[in-house]
Structure 1
Amino acid sequence: MGAAMCKLSDKVGQHVKKRSPGCKYACHAACRDRVSLDCHPAASPFSQDQLNNNTLLQDVEKERELRTEFNREEIRQKIEQYNSLTKDHLKMTLNPTGVYTGFIKVQMDLRRPVTVRGGQRGAGGALVGEAFYLPRGVTNTLHISSNNTVRQVIVALLSKFTVQDNPAKYALYKRYRREEQVYVCKLADGEQPLFLRLVAGPDSDTLSFVLREQTGEVMWDAFSIPELRNFLRILDKEENEQRDAVLRRYDSYRRRLQEAMRDLRGPS
């Protein structure tokens, strides 16, 4: 019955619904005429929905603010405000053309190995890449302009680490905190990370960037034969390391058991 107080007769059954505003219950058809309702809702039944809608609208407005364009004077004011708040001396600069430059930090969160340019040449004379895992959580700082898009930032990051992989395998995500909740959202290729940084301010809790692989099924067809062979070599190496670790652990157990048995037997 929710937030309502209802007066019912002694015999209340099931199966037939009888309603009044703010109250729901079911009674037997034979009992319907003997049941009276005197419901007084404590609040409007739509108040919670309205509250949820208002919260949703606020979230939409906040999200829309990150997509709003500003004129030159507004940009200048926001840059001044940004520079006054930054604590790491990575300030933004407004150029006479209206384009501004600044820094963004991108956390590398890659789960699969990457292929980097190596110094060895294959049979055809081309440089053969080497595959390895980038340390997860490492942060890289890029100096970009307000014209640079997400796709250009991804290409610049891969180039900085000399990664040969196709940039289409990766995506840039924004991570932001709202009301003690952390959200992660994939950015479109055409979005401008420096503009998002400017609007959000320098606080990394308010907004940060993360580079990850594209979500979904791994498209193995997108990898070249040398890349796939490198992956197999990495898996073989990890398998050997795990096997050796297990053997060392059980060798240690065996020695300790043998020592304990000798101690129990005593001197021979």
Structure 2
Amino acid sequence: MTNTANSTSDKTPSFEMTWGSSTSSGYCSDEESESEFEQYFTARTSFFPQNRKPNVKVNKQDEQTECGKQELTTATIQQKVKEYNAQINSNLFMNMNKDGSYTGFVKVQFKLARPVSVPPPKKGSHDGGGRKAGVVKRRTSFYLPKDASKHLHISSRTSAREVIEALLKKFTVVDNPAKFALFERSERHDQVYVRKLSDTEQPLRLRLVAGPNEKVLSFLLKENETGEVNWHAFSMPELKNFLRILQREEEEHVKQIVQRYALARTKMQEALAGSTPG
């Protein structure tokens, strides 16, 4: 589905949505109870980060390129917009405004390891079977499709925090925006660099300076887990669910260790049984 509305509003971005071909998302829940209840599927959720590939590096906040820090004059912006539009093979052009700002599209890829939550159906609405929904509150949590992406039509004045809020609003995600962060990804000299954007950085400006090449610059939406996790930002059902996840991971880890030592013990006993007394 493609929507390429050329809105020039700085505060109300329009959206284009594209989905990856993978169908590995399908976990969701729609539990009911007398009070609001949340059920989370945890088949692909883990608190402990997986080992990163050795060719992936994370840039520090101050490792931005000098080009990205420079203040651009109106004439420079006009020239870069012209060069940018000449390099793309789609209708996702950038457009200059009379006030010196400009609008264009940024593509954001979703790299979320945990499920997101959407609100319950509105009162008086009907469910999938045509029955009128009751007054029982429901909240659904599900994994977004793997490698899903979305194009946002934004202004050069739109901040990274506003991009995150717009993405969550488009998906009707009710999770706290502070749980998420926008990252830039780049490939240079066979190395992959990932840097977290500050809330005030302007993604479209970064896109213009870098050009349209996705290898030079792309944007990722990920969980905001730099430093200590702010557990107070999570709801009570989420915290209870995380405790269940920890317990399952601990049990699985213990099971693997017991199996490893049992196997080693068996091999030692076989070696002893087959050895000749000396």
Change (3 A) 1:219 1:194: same
State whether structure 2 residue 169 is matched by structure 1 residue 155: no
Which residue is equivalent to 1:199? Answer: 209
Which residue is equivalent to 1:219? Answer: 230
Which residue is equivalent to 1:264? Answer: none
Which residue is equivalent to 1:141? Answer: 151
Aligned partners of 1:132, 1:175: CA distance in 2, in Å?
26
Aligned partners of 1:229, 1:61: CA distance in 2, in Å?
38
Q: Is the 8 A contact 1:150 1:190 kept in 2?
A: yes
Aligned partners of 1:161, 1:149: CA distance in 2, in Å?
19
Cα distance, 1:229 vs. partner?
6.3
Aligned partners of 1:95, 1:71: CA distance in 2, in Å?
14
Q: After TM superposition, where is structure 1 displaced by more than 4 Å over at least 4 residues in a row?
A: 226-233
The amino acid that maps onto 1:199 is: V
Q: Is the 8 A contact 1:131 1:227 kept in 2?
A: no
Change (3 A) 1:62 1:108: closer
Structure that is richer in strand per residue: 1
Q: Deviation digits for residues 94-139 of structure 1, max 9, x if unmatched?
A: 0111110000000000011111122166xxx695431111123111
Change (3 A) 1:136 1:232: farther
DSSP 3-state at the match of 2:219: strand
Q: Is the 8 A contact 1:172 1:187 kept in 2?
A: yes
Aligned CA RMSD, in angstroms, stands at 2.8
Q: Is the 8 A contact 1:129 1:164 kept in 2?
A: no
Change (3 A) 1:184 1:126: farther
Aligned partners of 1:171, 1:81: CA distance in 2, in Å?
30
State whether structure 2 residue 210 is matched by structure 1 residue 208: no
Aligned partners of 2:216, 2:84: CA distance in 1, in Å?
13
Q: Deviation digits for residues 231-268 of structure 1, max 9, x if unmatched?
A: 789x7xx99xxxxxxxxxxxxxxxxxxxxxxxxxxxxx
Alignment of 1:90-105 (within 5 A): 90-105=92-107
Which residue is equivalent to 2:110? Answer: 108
Which residue is equivalent to 1:65? Answer: 67
Identity across aligned pairs (percent)?
51
Aligned partners of 2:63, 2:76: CA distance in 1, in Å?
19
Q: Any gaps of 5 or more consecutive residues in structure 1?
A: 1-59, 240-268
The amino acid that maps onto 2:234 is: F
- Which of 161, 185, 189 is the equivalent residue of 1:175? 185
TM-score, structure 1 length as denominator? Answer: 0.59
DSSP 3-state at the match of 2:139: strand
Q: Deviation digits for residues 49-72 of structure 1, max 9, x if unmatched?
A: xxxxxxxxxxx9971111211111
Which residue is equivalent to 2:44? Answer: none
Aligned partners of 2:211, 2:98: CA distance in 1, in Å?
22
Which of the two has higher C-alpha Rg?
1
Which residue is equivalent to 1:25? Answer: none
Q: Deviation digits for residues 139-178 of structure 1, max 9, x if unmatched?
A: 1110000000000000001111110011111110000111
- Which of 151, 176, 196 is the equivalent residue of 1:166? 176
Structure that is richer in helix per residue: 1
DSSP 3-state at the match of 2:84: helix
Alignment of 1:1-268 (within 5 A): 63-119=65-121, 128-215=138-225, 216-228=227-239
DSSP 3-state at the match of 1:90: coil
Q: Is the 8 A contact 1:131 1:230 kept in 2?
A: no
Q: Is the 8 A contact 1:174 1:208 kept in 2?
A: yes
TM-score, structure 2 length as denominator? Answer: 0.57
